[in-house]
Structure 1
């Protein structure tokens, strides 16, 4: 855990998110060195959501949003589209 990856202007740090006893796999999502979202991997077989991802918490433009995603790739694309734009150069 804790390694950082970068995709399309976003970077990610793996983390254990304390939503259940023992925690869940998650990603901290950064844009320009600012934390913009916390994603958790859902491990709920009873609700047919195992392996899906959830926007646990968003900041800035994502504040108050909660959303399920079928894959981490879908979640990353959505976060990238809904955060503040890159500054014009």
Structure 2
């Protein structure tokens, strides 16, 4: 669909991009994603360490910028995290249904 990119099964409006990184929160680092909107860094998400926290596949808003500054939140999926970032950062939702 033109104007959208896919993250998992989610369709995300154009303007978002993502960079996979290692975040130095624990020894050896954790899987992370930098979330960009229109070439501006808006959030850093980390995948919660399964062994340390008895979770699998969950994500954490490590830090946010702008309206997300000071926010910390857990998400069950990456899609949920991106939807939330889009909802609380921009006037129009970044995540669309179907």
Under TM normalisation by the shorter chain, which class is it? 0.7 to 0.9
What is the aligned partner in structure 2 of residue 23 from structure 1?
29
Q: Bigger relative contact order, structure 1 or 2, given CA contacts below 8 A and separation 6+?
A: 2
Q: Distance in 1 between matches of 2:48 and 2:62?
A: 10
- 1:44 is the counterpart of 2:50: yes
* Matched ranges for 1:1-12 at <5 A: 7-8=12-13, 9-12=15-18
RMSD, matched Cα: 1.7
Q: TM-score, normalised by structure 2?
A: 0.75
> Structure 1, unaligned stretches of length 5 or more?
none
> Structure 2, unaligned stretches of length 5 or more?
7-11, 93-98
What is the aligned partner in structure 2 of residue 59 from structure 1?
65
Q: TM-score, normalised by structure 1?
A: 0.82
Q: Write out the 4+ residue segments of structure 1 that deviate beyond 2 Å after TM superposition.
A: 44-50
